[in-house]
Structure 1
Amino acid sequence: RGTGGVGVLVKKKICEKVVEVRRKSDRAMAVVLAFEEEVVKVICGYGSQSGRGIAEKEQFFDVMMNEWDLEKVDELVLGISDFNGHVGKWIQGFEGVHGGNGIGERNLEGRILLEFCDEKELYVTNTWFRKTEKE
């Protein structure tokens, strides 16, 4: 039995639309909702913090990668996760993934995240818009 984990909050009025919940680990899960016109899968994850072992980080990304591999053609898939990585401000090599509005330096977790997104044709969305100083 786990001691922590991730969760997905769902409004009461759409709770009946939940058709499947898959808890993959303490750090990753998926919830599938069936609406009249659309099936939506929400993948939620919380990556290991900096300083944790590489094996733990790789295990998290493997779980996330496997969940994306289960994507069905007719599903709308949303990934909402904290990967605990810094993708940095430089986009070189990740032009289709990184929007150019990152900050700071890229760390190992950020590189792994960018490679993951590149392989799965995903975007690091918070790099596609400019943030104000407060953000």
Structure 2
Amino acid sequence: MKRTSDTAVVVKLYLHGKISQHCECLAPQAGCDEVEKMAFWEEMNLQLSEIPVEKRLIIGGDMNGHVGRTREGTEKVHGGWGVGERNDEGKRLVDCAVSFDLAFVCTWFEKKEN
């Protein structure tokens, strides 16, 4: 386990003969100042860049963003079943997913609006 900051921890798990890396995060809320948000995303990008591409990576936690339903230009990372509109924090999430070739698994399945 590697605690990367007050808001993130990376855990390596050995499951079924393979190493899986889990990053649990708590991103700054929408109302936090931009300096705090930028510091979080810089740290997140640094941590993700240190994980080898061939390793499994699962990111969980509360990223405090909405990726929305629109997937235009992000079809590789977004399944099209998001809810609502993408907000600024969601844009940061999408940018991160595109940069590190990650996917929003929850957007590949239809959900109820409520």
The two structures have a TM-score, normalised by structure 1, of: 0.76
Aligned equivalents of 1:35 and 1:91: distance in 2? Answer: 32
Q: Which runs of 5+ in 1 are unaligned?
A: 1-20
* Equivalent position to 1:111, from 91, 107, 114: 91
Aligned equivalents of 2:49 and 2:67: distance in 1? Answer: 23
State the Cα RMSD in Å: 1.7
Paired residues for 1:91-102 under 5 Å: 91-102=71-82
Determine the structure 2 residue equivalent to 1:88.
Answer: 68
Count of matched residue pairs: 114
Which segment drifts farther, 69-78 or 43-52?
A: 69-78
Whether the aligned pair in 2 keeps the contact of 1:28 and 1:60 (CA below 8 Å) is no
Letter in 2 for 1:38: K
Letter in 2 for 1:90: T
1:123 is paired with a residue whose SS is coil
* Higher relative contact order, structure no. (Cα contacts within 8 Å, ≥ 6 residues apart): 2
Cα distance, 1:103–1:24 mapped onto 2, change above 3 Å: same
Residue deviations 1:32-79 (CA, integer Å, cap 9, x gap): 123572122111101111111112112112222111111135532221
Aligned equivalents of 1:32 and 1:26: distance in 2? Answer: 18
The ranges of structure 1 where at least 4 consecutive aligned residues each deviate by more than 6 angstroms after the TM superposition are none
Determine the structure 1 residue equivalent to 2:3.
Answer: 23
Letter in 1 for 2:47: E
1:44 is aligned to 2:34:
no
* Equivalent position to 1:79, from 46, 59, 67: 59
* Equivalent position to 1:67, from 24, 44, 47: 47
* Structure of larger gyration radius: 1
Aligned equivalents of 2:16 and 2:103: distance in 1? Answer: 27
Aligned equivalents of 1:77 and 1:43: distance in 2? Answer: 7
Q: Which runs of 5+ in 2 are unaligned?
A: none
